[in-house]
Amino acid sequence: MARRRPCGLLLALAAAAVLVAAGAGVAGAQETCSGTVPSPPRRGARVSVDSFGGAGDGRTLNTAAFARAVASIDRLRAPGGAELYVPPGVWLTGPFNLTSRMTLFLARGAVIRATQDTPSWPLIEPLPSYGRGRELPGERYISLIHGSGLQDVVITGENGTIDGQGSVWWDMWKKGTLPYTRPHLLELMSSSDIIVSNIVFQDSPFWNIHPVYCSNVVIRNVTVLAPHDSPNTDGIDPDSSSNVCIEDCYISTGDDAIAIKSGWDEYGIAYGRPSSDITIRRITASSPFAGFAVGSETSGGVQNVLAEHLNFFSSGFGIHIKTNTGRGGFIRNVTVSDVTLDNVRYGLRIAGDVGDHPDDRYNRSALPVVDALTIKNVQGQNIKEAGLIKGIADSAFSRICLWNVKLSGGASLRPWKCEAVTGGALDVQPSPCTELASTSGPSFCTNSL
């Protein structure tokens, strides 16, 4: 099958985004959350995948070579762990697992490329907070790079590429011939002290970067690319994870650039692990869906989120906070600030009727709580619809604050629509819904600022 190469314009924009961030750093010290995970100690050993029978010729299958290299790191038990070096070249491989106290380092010009031999991909159990594969009942394909129960893992390099060759998977999805849920490019489960930096993720079969049940995660200076028509190729999806830092990334994909999740309906409610204490800064993104999203799988709860200095263009939604009847859980204490939008359909959407269900056993009485959301300092041009804030009749969204939100789109700009919501609005254009002028709303809005 012919392989589609990433558009040079996207790579140029990604490079420009990095330069802008670097230039801002010269002008003054930038806030950073990267200290969430301290830099690991110097690794005590270094091994190269080509020393284990690997060949970076784009034809040799290197799955066994990667497995042997990781196993050698596990056996070495070197002081401070060890680095697995991937030299320049194209390293075709099937899925492989990482181990604790290791760095996966991609040299400049190194490409880890996924095999398109889909029947050879192993299956793993569904996540307990989802109860089944996200797309289909039963098991799911393992991610290209995978790890579970790990500590102190670094994936970095000199902007080498992890290429999922996702087109074969997208075609199966479009034709309805998928036997199981598609694989991610990177999934780390039940792990801590994770750093992902200076890597290009490209053409994932499904979600790109998926830390789930993790704590202490830093994702910085990462580029994520996939065609806008590639299905469900979310950029970065922290899921039932805490103490997460996402900074200085460029994302252009076929689904939400960043989406915070925490489990699906009755399975997420039972697992009960929220996503919390998440900071997102200096993201440039384009997507037919959302630049920044929460949900719709939020059954374990999402709380204490700060997202700021965001630049979204040519997208379906700027900010999309989404849940549904049957989700349960909560979304609370979320602040989104300093956002620039250009050519976006919806500036803001907060909705309680989004997303499907894993099966017919979900509890229709499990209503989500959405409370204390602050959206401020948003500037948008070429906007089609200002936004929609639609709560649930028996669980109205409360304490929604909009401040200094200025959206323009000419005479065709559609006004705000609101339902089952209370809160406040200060200095908002076009004029906000009357529901955001309730008695308690303005005082909350003022206090939240």
Give me the active site residues, please. 255
Name the CA radius of gyration of the chain, rounded.
Answer: 22
Please give the DSSP secondary-structure letter assigned to residue 440. Answer: S
Residue 89's φ and ψ, nearest 5 degrees, are: 135, 175
Measured CA distances, 17 to 133, 253, 347, 392, 429 (Å): 35, 16, 21, 38, 28
Helices (H), 232-296: 265-271
- Which residues lie below 8 Å from residue 328, measured CB to CB, with a gap of 6+? 265, 268, 269, 299, 363, 366, 367, 368
Question: How far apart, in whole angstroms, are the C-alpha atoms of residue 80 and residue 102?
Answer: 8
Neighbours of 246 (CB within 10 A): 26
- The conformational region for residue 263 under phi > 0 = left, psi -120 to 50 = alpha, else beta, is left
Computed from CA positions of residues 389, 390, 396, 397, in that sequence, does the dihedral angle turn out positive or negative? negative
Asked whether the bond before 430 is cis by omega within 30 degrees of 0, the reply is: yes
Peptide bond into 296 cis (omega under 30): yes
Bridge pairing between strands 397-407 and 369-390: parallel
Coil, strand or helix: which one is 429?
A: strand
CB burial string 184-223: b at 16+ within 10 A, e below: bbbbbbebbbbbbbbbbbbbbbbbbbbbbbbbbbbbbbbb
* DSSP codes of every residue in 130-181: TSS-SSSSS-EEPPSEEEES-EEEEEEESSEEEE--THHHHHHHHHT--SSB
Q: How far apart are alpha carbons 76 and 52 in whole angstroms? A: 15
Q: Residue 245: which region, alpha, beta or left (left: phi > 0; alpha: psi -120 to 50)?
A: beta
CA distance 397 to 24: 37
